[in-house]
Amino acid sequence: LSLPQKKTFLGGGHVENKVVSHLLGAEPEKIYAMPDPALPDSDIKALTTLCDLADRELVVNIGWAKHIPGFSSLSLPDQMSLLQSAWMEILILRVVFRSLGCEDQLVFAEDYVMNEEQAKLAGLQDLYTAILQLVRKYTSIKLHREEFVTLKAIALANADSMHIEDWVAVQRLQDSLHAALQELVSVLHPEDGQRAGRLIMTLPLLRQTAAKAVQHFCNIKQDGRVPMHKLFLELLEAH
Protein backbone atom coordinates (compact mmCIF):
# COMPACT_ATOMS: atom_id res chain seq x y z
CA LEU A 1 0.00 0.00 0.00
CA SER A 2 1.76 3.08 -1.19
CA LEU A 3 1.30 6.78 -1.11
CA PRO A 4 -0.49 7.90 -4.26
CA GLN A 5 0.56 10.72 -6.52
CA LYS A 6 -2.19 13.18 -5.81
CA LYS A 7 -3.36 15.76 -8.28
CA THR A 8 -5.31 18.63 -6.84
CA PHE A 9 -7.87 20.72 -8.59
CA LEU A 10 -7.09 24.38 -8.45
CA GLY A 11 -9.88 26.73 -7.62
CA GLY A 12 -10.38 29.82 -9.70
CA GLY A 13 -12.29 32.52 -7.85
CA HIS A 14 -11.80 33.66 -4.30
CA VAL A 15 -14.40 32.32 -1.91
CA GLU A 16 -15.92 34.94 0.37
CA ASN A 17 -18.89 32.93 1.62
CA LYS A 18 -18.79 32.82 5.43
CA VAL A 19 -20.39 29.41 5.73
CA VAL A 20 -17.93 27.89 3.25
CA SER A 21 -14.85 29.49 4.82
CA HIS A 22 -16.05 28.25 8.19
CA LEU A 23 -16.49 24.73 6.80
CA LEU A 24 -13.01 24.86 5.28
CA GLY A 25 -11.60 25.81 8.68
CA ALA A 26 -13.54 23.05 10.41
CA GLU A 27 -12.27 20.32 8.09
CA PRO A 28 -10.60 17.66 10.28
CA GLU A 29 -6.88 16.96 10.27
CA LYS A 30 -5.85 13.86 8.35
CA ILE A 31 -5.94 10.55 10.19
CA TYR A 32 -3.58 7.66 9.57
CA ALA A 33 -4.69 4.04 9.32
CA MET A 34 -1.55 2.59 10.94
CA PRO A 35 -2.15 -1.09 10.11
CA ASP A 36 -0.81 -3.35 12.85
CA PRO A 37 2.64 -4.54 11.63
CA ALA A 38 2.40 -7.56 13.95
CA LEU A 39 -0.59 -8.99 12.07
CA PRO A 40 -0.06 -11.09 8.92
CA ASP A 41 -1.72 -9.69 5.78
CA SER A 42 -5.23 -11.07 5.43
CA ASP A 43 -8.82 -10.00 4.84
CA ILE A 44 -9.27 -9.84 8.61
CA LYS A 45 -6.28 -7.51 8.95
CA ALA A 46 -7.58 -5.22 6.19
CA LEU A 47 -11.08 -5.07 7.69
CA THR A 48 -9.72 -4.57 11.21
CA THR A 49 -7.63 -1.67 9.94
CA LEU A 50 -10.60 -0.12 8.13
CA CYS A 51 -12.97 -0.50 11.10
CA ASP A 52 -10.41 1.03 13.46
CA LEU A 53 -9.82 3.90 11.03
CA ALA A 54 -13.57 4.41 10.63
CA ASP A 55 -14.05 4.56 14.39
CA ARG A 56 -11.41 7.30 14.75
CA GLU A 57 -12.78 9.14 11.71
CA LEU A 58 -16.24 9.09 13.28
CA VAL A 59 -14.97 10.86 16.39
CA VAL A 60 -13.50 13.70 14.33
CA ASN A 61 -16.53 13.82 12.03
CA ILE A 62 -18.82 14.31 15.03
CA GLY A 63 -16.54 17.13 16.17
CA TRP A 64 -16.68 18.53 12.64
CA ALA A 65 -20.49 18.40 12.54
CA LYS A 66 -20.65 20.63 15.61
CA HIS A 67 -18.79 23.29 13.63
CA ILE A 68 -21.27 23.37 10.76
CA PRO A 69 -22.93 26.76 11.13
CA GLY A 70 -26.39 26.12 12.56
CA PHE A 71 -25.94 22.43 13.38
CA SER A 72 -25.41 22.95 17.10
CA SER A 73 -28.60 25.01 17.31
CA LEU A 74 -30.58 21.87 16.46
CA SER A 75 -31.86 19.85 19.41
CA LEU A 76 -29.49 17.15 20.61
CA PRO A 77 -31.87 14.36 19.49
CA ASP A 78 -32.04 15.91 16.01
CA GLN A 79 -28.25 16.22 15.82
CA MET A 80 -28.05 12.55 16.76
CA SER A 81 -30.68 11.53 14.21
CA LEU A 82 -28.86 13.28 11.37
CA LEU A 83 -25.51 11.75 12.29
CA GLN A 84 -27.02 8.28 12.78
CA SER A 85 -28.39 8.47 9.24
CA ALA A 86 -25.53 10.18 7.42
CA TRP A 87 -22.33 9.01 9.15
CA MET A 88 -21.38 6.51 6.44
CA GLU A 89 -22.07 9.03 3.66
CA ILE A 90 -19.64 11.41 5.38
CA LEU A 91 -16.97 8.72 5.75
CA ILE A 92 -17.32 7.69 2.11
CA LEU A 93 -17.35 11.23 0.74
CA ARG A 94 -14.06 11.84 2.55
CA VAL A 95 -12.53 8.70 1.04
CA VAL A 96 -13.83 9.74 -2.38
CA PHE A 97 -12.33 13.21 -2.12
CA ARG A 98 -8.96 11.84 -1.01
CA SER A 99 -9.05 9.43 -3.96
CA LEU A 100 -9.59 12.08 -6.65
CA GLY A 101 -6.74 12.03 -9.12
CA CYS A 102 -5.50 8.63 -7.89
CA GLU A 103 -5.89 6.14 -10.68
CA ASP A 104 -8.44 3.53 -9.60
CA GLN A 105 -7.23 3.46 -6.02
CA LEU A 106 -9.18 4.19 -2.87
CA VAL A 107 -7.29 6.39 -0.43
CA PHE A 108 -8.76 5.40 2.93
CA ALA A 109 -5.83 7.22 4.52
CA GLU A 110 -2.49 8.52 3.30
CA ASP A 111 -0.91 5.31 4.60
CA TYR A 112 -3.75 3.05 3.48
CA VAL A 113 -4.52 2.91 -0.21
CA MET A 114 -6.41 0.05 -1.84
CA ASN A 115 -6.40 -1.06 -5.47
CA GLU A 116 -8.91 -3.46 -6.97
CA GLU A 117 -6.84 -6.53 -6.16
CA GLN A 118 -6.44 -5.56 -2.51
CA ALA A 119 -10.15 -4.74 -2.24
CA LYS A 120 -10.97 -8.15 -3.68
CA LEU A 121 -8.74 -9.85 -1.09
CA ALA A 122 -10.55 -7.97 1.67
CA GLY A 123 -13.93 -9.03 0.28
CA LEU A 124 -14.73 -5.42 -0.57
CA GLN A 125 -14.92 -5.60 -4.34
CA ASP A 126 -18.55 -4.47 -4.65
CA LEU A 127 -17.91 -1.57 -2.34
CA TYR A 128 -14.69 -0.70 -4.18
CA THR A 129 -16.58 -0.58 -7.47
CA ALA A 130 -19.37 1.55 -6.02
CA ILE A 131 -17.01 4.05 -4.38
CA LEU A 132 -14.92 4.23 -7.54
CA GLN A 133 -18.05 5.17 -9.49
CA LEU A 134 -18.36 8.18 -7.17
CA VAL A 135 -14.66 8.99 -7.60
CA ARG A 136 -15.08 8.97 -11.39
CA LYS A 137 -18.16 11.14 -11.18
CA TYR A 138 -16.43 13.79 -9.05
CA THR A 139 -13.27 13.53 -11.14
CA SER A 140 -15.22 14.37 -14.29
CA ILE A 141 -16.96 17.23 -12.46
CA LYS A 142 -13.54 18.39 -11.11
CA LEU A 143 -14.82 18.78 -7.57
CA HIS A 144 -13.17 21.63 -5.66
CA ARG A 145 -12.27 21.42 -1.99
CA GLU A 146 -14.78 24.17 -1.17
CA GLU A 147 -17.53 22.28 -2.99
CA PHE A 148 -16.53 19.07 -1.21
CA VAL A 149 -16.82 20.54 2.30
CA THR A 150 -20.16 22.15 1.47
CA LEU A 151 -21.55 19.02 -0.16
CA LYS A 152 -20.49 16.98 2.87
CA ALA A 153 -22.40 19.32 5.18
CA ILE A 154 -25.41 19.11 2.83
CA ALA A 155 -25.28 15.30 2.95
CA LEU A 156 -25.53 15.51 6.74
CA ALA A 157 -28.33 18.09 6.79
CA ASN A 158 -30.21 16.14 4.12
CA ALA A 159 -30.02 12.82 5.98
CA ASP A 160 -33.79 12.16 5.81
CA SER A 161 -33.97 10.56 9.24
CA MET A 162 -37.44 9.39 10.22
CA HIS A 163 -36.93 10.66 13.75
CA ILE A 164 -36.49 14.41 13.24
CA GLU A 165 -38.44 16.44 15.80
CA ASP A 166 -38.04 19.92 14.34
CA TRP A 167 -38.18 19.76 10.56
CA VAL A 168 -38.34 23.52 10.23
CA ALA A 169 -34.95 23.90 11.94
CA VAL A 170 -33.40 21.14 9.81
CA GLN A 171 -34.82 22.71 6.67
CA ARG A 172 -33.34 26.07 7.68
CA LEU A 173 -29.95 24.37 7.96
CA GLN A 174 -30.42 22.69 4.57
CA ASP A 175 -31.41 26.00 2.98
CA SER A 176 -28.42 27.90 4.35
CA LEU A 177 -26.01 25.20 3.14
CA HIS A 178 -27.71 25.03 -0.25
CA ALA A 179 -27.47 28.81 -0.57
CA ALA A 180 -23.77 28.59 0.35
CA LEU A 181 -23.22 25.97 -2.37
CA GLN A 182 -25.00 28.08 -4.97
CA GLU A 183 -23.03 31.18 -4.06
CA LEU A 184 -19.78 29.22 -4.07
CA VAL A 185 -20.45 27.67 -7.47
CA SER A 186 -21.43 31.02 -8.95
CA VAL A 187 -17.99 32.36 -7.87
CA LEU A 188 -15.95 29.31 -8.92
CA HIS A 189 -17.84 28.61 -12.15
CA PRO A 190 -19.77 31.70 -13.19
CA GLU A 191 -20.08 30.26 -16.70
CA ASP A 192 -21.81 27.07 -15.57
CA GLY A 193 -25.33 27.66 -14.28
CA GLN A 194 -26.01 23.93 -13.99
CA ARG A 195 -23.11 23.07 -11.69
CA ALA A 196 -24.83 23.30 -8.28
CA GLY A 197 -27.60 21.05 -9.52
CA ARG A 198 -25.09 18.61 -10.96
CA LEU A 199 -23.30 18.43 -7.61
CA ILE A 200 -26.56 17.86 -5.71
CA MET A 201 -27.47 15.13 -8.20
CA THR A 202 -24.45 13.09 -7.08
CA LEU A 203 -25.97 12.64 -3.61
CA PRO A 204 -28.31 9.72 -4.43
CA LEU A 205 -25.33 7.62 -5.52
CA LEU A 206 -23.54 8.59 -2.31
CA ARG A 207 -26.52 7.48 -0.23
CA GLN A 208 -26.88 4.23 -2.17
CA THR A 209 -23.18 3.48 -1.74
CA ALA A 210 -23.32 4.27 1.98
CA ALA A 211 -26.29 1.93 2.41
CA LYS A 212 -24.29 -0.81 0.69
CA ALA A 213 -21.34 -0.15 2.98
CA VAL A 214 -23.46 -0.19 6.15
CA GLN A 215 -25.06 -3.46 5.07
CA HIS A 216 -21.67 -4.97 4.33
CA PHE A 217 -20.19 -3.97 7.69
CA CYS A 218 -23.35 -5.19 9.48
CA ASN A 219 -22.72 -8.59 7.89
CA ILE A 220 -19.08 -8.47 8.98
CA LYS A 221 -20.22 -7.61 12.51
CA GLN A 222 -22.59 -10.60 12.55
CA ASP A 223 -19.76 -12.77 11.39
CA GLY A 224 -17.85 -11.71 14.50
CA ARG A 225 -14.31 -12.23 13.19
CA VAL A 226 -13.35 -8.56 12.95
CA PRO A 227 -12.90 -6.51 16.12
CA MET A 228 -14.87 -3.26 16.05
CA HIS A 229 -14.75 -0.30 18.41
CA LYS A 230 -17.79 0.90 20.31
CA LEU A 231 -18.70 4.04 18.37
CA PHE A 232 -18.54 2.24 15.02
CA LEU A 233 -20.71 -0.57 16.47
CA GLU A 234 -23.11 1.91 17.97
CA LEU A 235 -23.67 3.61 14.62
CA LEU A 236 -23.94 0.30 12.73
CA GLU A 237 -26.63 -0.69 15.21
CA ALA A 238 -28.50 2.56 14.57
CA HIS A 239 -29.45 1.17 11.15
Partner 1 sequence: KEKHKILHRLLQNSTSPVDL
Rounded to the nearest 10 degrees, the angle between the axes of helix 145-157 and helix 18-26 is: 90
Q: Which residues contact 29 (CB under 8 A, 6 or more apart)?
A: 60
Contact between residue 185 and residue 194 where contact means Cβ atoms under 8 Å apart: no
DSSP secondary structure string for all residues of 23-62: HHHHPPPP------TTSPSSHHHHHHHHHHHHHHHHHHHH
Single out the segment in contact with partner 1 by CB under 8 A; choices: 67-75, 113-121, 144-152, 200-208.
67-75
Contact between residue 196 and residue 181 where contact means Cβ atoms under 8 Å apart: yes
Task: From residue 143, give the alpha-carbon distance in Å to each of 82, 170, 201.
Answer: 24, 26, 13
Query: Which CB, 100 or 177, lies closer to partner 1?
Result: 177
Query: Which CB, 62 or 203, lies closer to partner 1?
Result: 62
9, 11, 24, 67: which one binds partner 1 (CB under 8 A): 67
Rounded to the nearest 10 degrees, the angle between the axes of helix 145-157 and helix 76-99 is: 150
Contact between residue 19 and residue 176 where contact means Cβ atoms under 8 Å apart: yes
Answer yes or no whether residue 73 interacts with partner 1 by CB under 8 A: yes
Q: In the bound complex, what is the minimum distance in angstroms from residue 69's beta carbon to partner 1? A: 5
Answer yes or no whether residue 205 interacts with partner 1 by CB under 8 A: no
Query: Which CB, 214 or 238, lies closer to partner 1?
Result: 238
How far apart (Å, rounded) are the C-alpha atoms in residues 87 and 55?
11
The total number of residues written for the chain in this structure? 239
Answer yes or no whether residue 18 interacts with partner 1 by CB under 8 A: yes
Answer yes or no whether residue 235 interacts with partner 1 by CB under 8 A: yes
Single out the segment in contact with partner 1 by CB under 8 A; choices: 75-83, 148-156, 190-198, 215-223.
75-83
Q: In the bound complex, what is the minimum distance in angstroms from residue 70's beta carbon to partner 1? A: 6
Answer yes or no whether residue 71 interacts with partner 1 by CB under 8 A: yes
Q: In the bound complex, what is the minimum distance in angstroms from residue 27's beta carbon to partner 1? A: 14
Q: In the bound complex, what is the minimum distance in angstroms from residue 175's beta carbon to partner 1? A: 13
Query: Which CB, 18 or 198, lies closer to partner 1?
Result: 18
Residues that bind partner 1 (CB under 8 A): 18-19, 22, 59, 62-63, 65-73, 76-77, 79-80, 83-84, 230-231, 234-235, 237-238
